[in-house]
Amino acid sequence: MRVNTNLASEPFARKRPVLVLTGLLGVALLASFALLVYLNISNRWEARETRERIAVLQAELNDIQQQRARHEAVFRDPRYAESLEQTVFINSLITRKGVSWTRLFDDLATVLPYNVRLVRVRPQVTPANQVFLDMDVASPSGEPVVQMLRRMEGSPLFGPTEIHTTLAPTEGEPNYRYRISVNYSQRL
């Protein structure tokens, strides 16, 4: 009978690779934990700065709203209502007078064919200070008017066109008449 004698209290095992891998994994986990802590702290700082900036902007907004309320209270005062009404009326007249008729007719001359007659043009100013033209044109046939509309839509001075009404020739008016509206790029 053979007896195996091992004088060590534990038999020999290759534990070193396992210990090294476990140590590396522990270091990687510790590094990722440190990264997460750093990102959390930096996000808290950014959030605090953002809250402070929002508080400053909110205070400015409150000041502006208080100023606006004071100004509106002045405008609602009956003593100033007539003056405000006159100011709005005069400003609208100045805006309407800002349309250059010479420039308007020069720009229309670039798109009107020779056989299309401009019967009426009425510029209107929108609240956004853009000019809108409402005009009547006359022509012996519809083809020159179509040509004019194509030129207008191809021009950087005019926007999309819209034909509102068409009147056929009569005994008193031998031409076709069209009522057209178009945006005009003349700035005021």
Report whether 135 contacts 122 (CB < 8 A). Answer: yes
User: What is residue 186's three-state secondary structure?
Assistant: coil
pLDDT tens-place string over residues 21-51: 999 999 999 999 999 999 999 999 999 999 9
pLDDT of res. 12 = 66
Dist. CA 121–CA 123, nearest whole Å: 6
pLDDT of res. 131 = 84
The model's confidence at residue 170, banded by pLDDT at 50, 70 and 90, is confident
Q: Give me the residue spans of the domains in the chain.
A: 15-76, 99-184
pLDDT tens-place string over residues 107-145: 899 999 999 999 999 888 877 778 889 999 999 988 998
DSSP 4-56: ----SSS-----HHHHHHHHHHHHHHHHHHHHHHHHHHHHHHHHHHHHHHHHH
Dist. CA 71–CA 77, nearest whole Å: 10
Q: Which residues are registered as beta bridge partners of 131?
A: 125, 184
Between 86 and 95, name the one with better pLDDT.
86
Share of the chain above pLDDT 70, in %: 93
Residue 62 pLDDT greater than 80, yes or no: yes
pLDDT of res. 28 = 96
Residues 6+ apart with CB under 8 A from 118: 108, 112, 135, 136, 137
Between 168 and 75, name the one with better pLDDT.
168
- In this structure, which topology does domain 99-184 adopt according to CATH? Alpha-Beta Plaits (3.30.70)
Q: What value does the CA radius of gyration of the chain take, rounded to a whole number of Å?
A: 40
